[in-house]
Structure 1
Amino acid sequence: MSDPAIADTERLDPDGVAAVLALLRAAAAADGVRPVSEEAELRLQHGGPPGGRDVTASLDGALAGYARFDEGAAELVVHPAHRRRGVGSALAGRLEQIAGAGRLSVWAHGDLPGSAELAASRGYTRARVLLQMRRDLAGVAADPRPPLPDGVAVRPFRPGRDDAAWLQVNARAFADHPEQGSWTADDLRLRQAEPWFDPAGFLLAWRGDPDDGGELLGFHWTKVHPAGDVGDEPVGEVYVLGIDPGAQGMRLGSALTDLGLAHLRSRGLSEVLLYVEEANATAVRLYEGRGFRRYSVDVAWRREPGAARPL
């Protein structure tokens, strides 16, 4: 049995990207979960910050695995046809070499047994758990009219006009979030270019006129996953829901949630998902109270600097 051949590069060529995307589709079909995050897939296709690497593993000339490394965090996936042949260990070993003396976190989507076995065998510990929660949309009000504070109106996002205001509020609302709070104009632009982007489902709560000194207080950005992405049928998502710290206590989160869910229902969808940190017990209870149930988990496995490498 041959050993996996490992290669890494700052950016794969178009043929390499196409091959990895086919691998991701095969893994998703076999496991029932997306094997890498949206962010990793976007960076695969469009590149990312300096220092990022695309890592591939091949067996007998066939692509057997892929990993994405960015700033001490990584994700990896092994093709279903090539598992239990050392591919995951070879990819993990190369990621550890790239990380060097720094800390390395590797996300495992779906918390599958093989991922947990690989991580534990290499000295990683569970550091973060991200819950995916779902609910059906049958009981969602088709035309909610939640009370809003005086002078506040909810309007659809306007690409090119609301970008700067949204980035500012997003950064404040998620100042303590390790990924969401650091979004840049490029991050927003890439998502606006995606086929799923729909400004009608990107709802902004403004106090006053947005073109004449108005203040953005919060937002609910929804997304629609096509059939085959996270389920056999299209599924909606509470993609990002954020409230400016200065607008807390105004019940805008509830109002924006209701309006966003109604929008997804109007698209003919029957189910909606969201992601939330398991450690955020307050948010988990809130979503459970609104009919969401725990569906799956993603786990970030962390390896501390200086951890002993396996023999």
Structure 2
Amino acid sequence: MSPRLHRVTGPLTSADAHGIRALARAATQSDAVEPLSEQPLLWLTGAGPEIHHLILGDPSAPVGYAQLDLRDRSQASAELVVHPQARRQGHGSALLDALADPDVPVDVWAHGDLAPARSVAARRGLPVVRELWQMRLDPLTTPADPMPAPEGITLRAFEPGRDESAWLALNSAAFAHHPEQGRMTRTDLDAREAEPWFDPAGFVLAESEGRLLAAGWTKVPPGADEGEIYVLGVHPAAQGRGLGRLLTDWMLNHLAGRGLRTAVLYTEGDNTPAIRTYRRAGFERSAAHVVYRL
């Protein structure tokens, strides 16, 4: 008998969220890549009515899970995971069938671009519509001298309770065409500030005459041996002033100062200027995450 499919809109109970996290951990241990990204994990208990959960089997110990983001009815997105011990039984296809909507195109993430996901996509004829690169710098070393800021530019740390609105405005402008980052809300930002990894000392703002022009945000989960250049945003009006390179240099110095030897970041596979900047700093592509259109 096929496991029952449960559909839930909005936040899950803590018990069901615990079951999904355990499923994701099992997949991570098996595949060496996390099947669900940060935002879907936050939405397990913090979702709004546009977030739909599809749980295959007992919600406290599911064999499969998919999350559908319908905030944009013209272009939905989804992520899914099947327990390693329950694969090759049609559960992935069942979740894809449940995600399919004849009126709304659904973009489905395949983290790590793993062979099983490629096989399922090939059988269903799903095209790749996007590629997200992970880039890695190893070893991470501190430059001899920090890069000087351009004239008129000052750097300072993000101040919780003061800088949220200005940063969100910058983020929206810098990532206006980005399907995830550009949608970040105050609720999303507050959720990240509440995470144990959040450290305002690793969140730098570049200003000119009190106006926020760029920001660089690092992320180091507790106990991690590598740090992440989490978000790097430059206002379109401030492009070409070297702020991306300046903040990249600052963030690498910050991560090295914490004793980390590896830095990672994520960037769109077709973002040539960003990839050029990161390669100049020593990063190289280390993995890819792809999006299939359902």
What is the TM-score with the length of structure 1 in the denominator?
0.88
Residues 145, 288 of structure 1: alpha-carbon distance in 2 compared, 3 angstrom cutoff: closer
Aligned to 1:238: 229
- List gaps (5 residues or longer) in structure 1: 209-213, 228-232, 304-311
Report Cα offsets for 1:185-230 as digits up to 9, x if no partner: 111111101111000000001113xxxxx11110100001345xxx
Give the whole-Å Cα distance in 1 for the aligned partners of 2:270 and 2:153.
32
Q: Which runs of 4+ in 1 moved over 3 A?
A: none
Aligned to 1:103: 105
Aligned to 2:194: 193
Instruction: Give 1:258's match in structure 2, choosing from 249, 260, 275.
Output: 249
Aligned to 2:73: none
Give the whole-Å Cα distance in 2 for the aligned partners of 1:164 and 1:137.
36
Q: What does residue range 68-147 of structure 1 map to in structure 2 within 5 Å?
A: 68-71=67-70, 72-96=76-100, 99-141=101-143, 144-147=145-148
Alignment partner of 1:249: what SS? Answer: coil
Q: How many pairs are equivalent?
A: 288
Give the whole-Å Cα distance in 1 for the aligned partners of 2:61 and 2:187.
33
Aligned to 1:16: 16
Q: What one-letter code is carried by the residue in structure 2 that aligns with 1:31?
A: D
Residues 81, 206 of structure 1: alpha-carbon distance in 2 compared, 3 angstrom cutoff: same
TM-superposed deviation, 1:4: 2.7
Aligned to 2:277: 286
Q: What one-letter code is carried by the residue in structure 1 that aligns with 2:167?
A: W
Aligned to 1:230: none
TM-superposed deviation, 1:87: 1.0
Instruction: Give 1:218's match in structure 2, choosing from 183, 197, 214.
Output: 214
Q: What one-letter code is carried by the residue in structure 2 that aligns with 1:73?
A: S
TM-superposed deviation, 1:141: 1.9
Q: What one-letter code is carried by the residue in structure 2 that aligns with 1:65?
A: G
RMSD, aligned α-carbons: 1.7
Aligned to 2:37: 37
Q: Residues 140 and 252 of structure 2 are in contact (CA less than 8 Å); yes or no, is this contact kept in structure 1? A: no
* 2:256 pairs with 1:270: no
Aligned to 1:308: none
TM-superposed deviation, 1:153: 1.2
Give the whole-Å Cα distance in 1 for the aligned partners of 2:150 and 2:273.
24
Give the whole-Å Cα distance in 1 for the aligned partners of 2:199 and 2:102.
41
Q: Residues 141 and 261 of structure 2 are in contact (CA less than 8 Å); yes or no, is this contact kept in structure 1? A: no
Residues 122, 226 of structure 1: alpha-carbon distance in 2 compared, 3 angstrom cutoff: farther
Report Cα offsets for 1:69-113 as digits up to 9, x if no partner: 0021100000111111111111111111xx342111100000111
TM-superposed deviation, 1:240: 0.5
Aligned to 2:179: 178
Q: Residues 36 and 81 of structure 2 are in contact (CA less than 8 Å); yes or no, is this contact kept in structure 1? A: yes
What is the TM-score with the length of structure 2 in the denominator?
0.93
Q: What one-letter code is carried by the residue in structure 1 that aligns with 2:138?
A: D
Q: Residues 225 and 237 of structure 1 are in contact (CA less than 8 Å); yes or no, is this contact kept in structure 2? A: no
TM-superposed deviation, 1:154: 0.6
Alignment partner of 2:176: what SS? Answer: coil
TM-superposed deviation, 1:282: 2.7
TM-superposed deviation, 1:182: 1.7
Give the whole-Å Cα distance in 2 for the aligned partners of 1:102 and 1:248.
35
Q: What one-letter code is carried by the residue in structure 2 that aligns with 1:276?
A: T
Alignment partner of 1:66: what SS? Answer: strand
